[in-house]
Amino acid sequence: MGLSLLFIMGALILLFDLVQPEYANFQMLKGQLAGEQALFATETQAVSNAQNLISQYKGQSGNAQTASLAVPAGEDLAGALAQVYGLAANSSIAIQSVGISAPDLQAAANSQGAQLVQPLGTVTFQIAAAGTYEALKNFLQGLETNVRIFDVKGLSITPISSNTATPGKSQGSQDFFTYDISATAYYQEQTNASTTP
């Protein structure tokens, strides 16, 4: 009888002091395992979507290159200057000077996915040039439709001589002007990774 009581007492002590805490620990481990399995399933789906996106991106390499030309990663001042001079040469206007303002970075304004959008930078070119009115129009159209986007923020036209000239109309007066053009180009903050596939 005494031995039986001893066994039962021992069983109860084992049950409450060892088995029960261990069971609680098990529940925690099983919860952790279930959580990690759910996370793995979610991550697998996300990775699958990302791989799908990457394959689509690789199929759009031409568009990606165009986007990189329109809004390059980094200021690419040399490229922008070359394009300005190239457009001027094609439009037959003579560039007298080009001033470049300090690059300015601004935070992305998009609300959706804004944390993924890298800050947009601007560089302003102050272009002093001379040429005919038609040449100016060609130059402006070239700037506005250039692959690297330029926004004309300011334009001033004055005749070369004191004689009255005629922007917009030719009435036999001298068609030669000096132009002060303020044009802004855009760039994206440079990342470590290359932007083209």
Partner 1 sequence: MPLPEQVINQLSREPADTPGWSFGLIFFSGALLVIVLAIYFGMTLAYEPYLNTKIAAENSNLANLSQSISAQDEANVLTFYSQIANLQGILAKHTLVSQFLAWLEQNTEANVSYSSFSFSSGGEITLSGNALTEADVNQQIAIFQSSPDIENVVVSNVGSATSPGSAGAFQFSVTLLMNPSVFTEQTTQ
Helices (H) and strands (E) in the chain, counts: 5, 5
Task: Closer to partner 1 by CB, 89 or 153: give it.
Answer: 153
Task: Closer to partner 1 by CB, 91 or 95: give it.
Answer: 91
Write down the least CB distance from residue 21 to partner 1, Å.
Answer: 10
Write down the least CB distance from residue 131 to partner 1, Å.
Answer: 14
Element (H, E) at 47: helix 20-59
Task: Closer to partner 1 by CB, 1 or 102: give it.
Answer: 1
Write down the least CB distance from residue 79 to partner 1, Å.
Answer: 15
Write down the least CB distance from residue 129 to partner 1, Å.
Answer: 14
> What angle in degrees, to the nearest 10, is found between the helix axes of 77-91 and 133-145?
140
Structure token digits, residue 154? 């300011």
Give residue 149's identity as a one-letter amino acid code. I
Task: Closer to partner 1 by CB, 97 or 163: give it.
Answer: 163
The backbone torsions φ and ψ at residue 117, rounded to the nearest 5 degrees and listed phi first, read -85, 125
- CA dist 69 and 116 (Å) reads 20
- CA dist 70 and 186 (Å) reads 8
